[in-house]
């Protein structure tokens, strides 16, 4: 009886996994109008985005995942030049929280910001972002995790002020283990973005007026630790004071108080020093 019940349990688990896979929406081919996803979705082939002035793929609910599955999304821009088109993004979270954009995969040649995170508790992992007209990845909101991405040749269509990875009006975001090159700022933080962690990134500015990491004043409480920076212009970073308490975050969030405490405690457990490592 015990073996029989175990087999029943394994069969139920297999059926549940099969149902989950079946529920994932498959995306490939040409997209000529914004595709809104409302369930777990995955690329099953390369995607060519031909629409102008609007996102190619946007989220329509929270709590779901878009998996790039090793495929490529291509926009209307060029490799080394483009015409800026506001809102012409590859992927936009559109204010829906607790979503994920997962690589491996390539997002290239979009005439706006390539990946726009306008939400909380969102993860962007292991995506290669190439030749974007505006920011490579823009982060708004709180508790977002931008991890192990590669961003190159962003900010092609704007004369200055944008970045490979840019935090705009964001709080308590974690930007870590990314490779970022070829932007006005490899990694930038707007003057009203506070309490973010930027750690263990390689930030390279390749233009004559490039910065590796730039934190706009009077942004406060941002931790910049264990990064490597190579850039013609020395970074403007105010070295933060060591935190003694977890910050109070003004942005709304979908996580419980216990989840927030665990997330922040884990993230800032080693942040007892006031210096940064920048090479």
In a domain, 29, yes or no: no
Q: Residue range 225-243: average pLDDT?
A: 57
Question: What is the pTM assigned to this prediction?
Answer: 0.78
Q: Above 70 in pLDDT, residue 183?
A: yes
What's the number of domains the chain is made of? 1
In a domain, 59, yes or no: no
In a domain, 22, yes or no: no
Output the pLDDT for position 208: 57
According to DSSP, the β-strands at 57-59 and 179-181 are unpaired
Higher-confidence residue of 147 and 214: namely 147
Percent of the chain with pLDDT over 90: 56
pLDDT digits (tens, 9 = 90+) for 261-270: 444 444 333 3
SS3 per-residue string spanning the chain: CHHHHHHHHHHHHHHHHHHHHHHCEEEEEEECCCEEECCCEEEEEEEEECCCCCCCEEECCCCCEEECCCCEEECCCCCCCCCCCCCCCCEECCCCCCCEEEEEEEEECCCCCCEEEECCCCEEEEEEEECCCCCCEEEEEECCEEECCEEECCCCCCCCCCEEEEEEEEECCEEECCEEECCCEEEEECCCCECCEEECCEEECCCCCCEEEEECCCCCCCEEECCEEECCECCCCCCCCCCCCCCCCCCCCCCCHHHHHHHHHHHHCCCCCCCCCCC
Q: Residue range 99-107: average pLDDT?
A: 97
Higher-confidence residue of 238 and 42: namely 42
Output the pLDDT for position 11: 41
Are 235 and 229 in contact by the 8 Å Cβ rule? The answer is: yes
**Cα 90 from chain centre:** 12
Can you read off the two tokens belonging to residue 104? 């491996």
Output the pLDDT for position 64: 98
In a domain, 234, yes or no: yes
In a domain, 130, yes or no: yes
Range of the domain at 149: 75-268
Higher-confidence residue of 26 and 278: namely 26
In a domain, 33, yes or no: no
Residue in this structure with the two tokens 């933060």, named with its chain if needed: 240
Least confident segment among 67-76, 176-185, 198-207: 198-207
Q: Above 60 in pLDDT, residue 25?
A: yes
Q: Above 60 in pLDDT, residue 20?
A: no
pLDDT digits (tens, 9 = 90+) for 50-87: 999 999 999 999 999 999 999 999 999 999 889 999 89
In a domain, 36, yes or no: no
Q: What is the CATH number of the domain that holds 203?
A: 2.160.20
| Averaged confidence pLDDT in the chain | 79
Output the pLDDT for position 216: 86
In a domain, 154, yes or no: yes
């Amino acid at each position: 009886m015990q073996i029989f019940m175990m087999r029943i349990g394994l069969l139920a688990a297999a059926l549940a996994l099969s149902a989950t896979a079946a529920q994932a929406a498959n995306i490939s081919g040409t997209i000529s109008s914004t595709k809104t996803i409302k369930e777990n979705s995955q690329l099953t082939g390369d995607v060519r985005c031909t629409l102008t002035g609007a996102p190619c793929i946007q989220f329509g609910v929270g709590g779901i995942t878009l998996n790039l599955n090793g495929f490529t999304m291509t926009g209307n821009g060029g490799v080394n030049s483009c015409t800026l088109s506001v809102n012409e993004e590859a992927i936009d979270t559109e204010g829906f929280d607790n979503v994920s954009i997962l690589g491996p995969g390539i997002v290239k040649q979009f005439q706006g910001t390539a990946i726009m995170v306008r939400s909380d508790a969102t993860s962007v992992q292991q995506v290669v972002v190439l030749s974007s007209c505006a920011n490579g990845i823009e982060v708004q909101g709180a508790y977002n995790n931008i991890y192990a991405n590669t961003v190159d040749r962003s900010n092609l269509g704007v004369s200055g002020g944008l970045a490979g990875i840019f935090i705009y009006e964001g709080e308590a975001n974690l930007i870590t283990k990314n490779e970022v090159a070829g932007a006005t700022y490899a990694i930038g933080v707007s003057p009203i973005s506070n309490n973010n962690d930027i750690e263990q990134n390689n930030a390279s500015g390749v233009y004559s007026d490039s910065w590796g990491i730039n934190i706009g004043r009077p942004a406060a409480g941002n931790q910049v630790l264990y990064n490597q920076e190579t850039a013609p212009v020395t970074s403007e970073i105010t070295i933060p004071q060591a935190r003694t308490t977890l910050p109070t975050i003004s942005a709304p969030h979908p996580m419980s108080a216990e989840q927030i405490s665990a997330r922040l405690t884990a993230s800032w457990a080693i942040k007892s020093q006031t210096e940064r490592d920048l090479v």
